[in-house]
Amino acid sequence: MHVNVENDDELVCPTCGQEPCLAASLPTPAGHTSVILCPRCNANSPAADTVTPLLAWFALHEAAIDQNLDELAALVRRWLEEVSRPSVPDAALRAALRQWERRAVSLDGSQRA
Ligand SMILES: [Zn+2]
């Protein structure tokens, strides 16, 4: 199973048009489905138990780095398990989040070649 976590400037929430914290592309029997974590629209979602800590994480951290990757991975895992079944293997999730981390770093410009 493959999960793709996206951090893309072009991405907007389909409901409010704001930039989401996080988007994930998840495999389904029919192909792929995208789930978006929007700080506005998801704040009062039915999955608030998993969404609230994740939104709080994004409010506190600008990007995933080694020091906070485990914490973020745990929060994203809980969120993805809420919005999708079955669960996501840890290795796939960590790999996806590392990709997100590199993306955030390059958008910041601090490690541009
Ligand atoms: Zn929204």
Distance from Cα 43 to the centre of ligand 1, integer Å: 9
pLDDT in tens, 40-85: 888 876 667 888 898 899 888 877 888 888 998 899 888 887 776 6
Q: Are 19 and 12 in contact, with CB atoms under 8 Å apart?
A: yes
Q: Is the pTM of this model over 0.75?
A: no
Question: What does the pLDDT look like over 6-34, one tens digit per residue?
Answer: 666 678 888 899 888 888 877 777 777 77
How far, in Å, is the centroid of ligand 1 from the Cα of 37? Answer: 8
What's the confidence (pLDDT) of residue 88?
A: 62
- Rounded distance from Cα 82 to ligand 1 centre (Å): 18
pLDDT of residue 71: 92
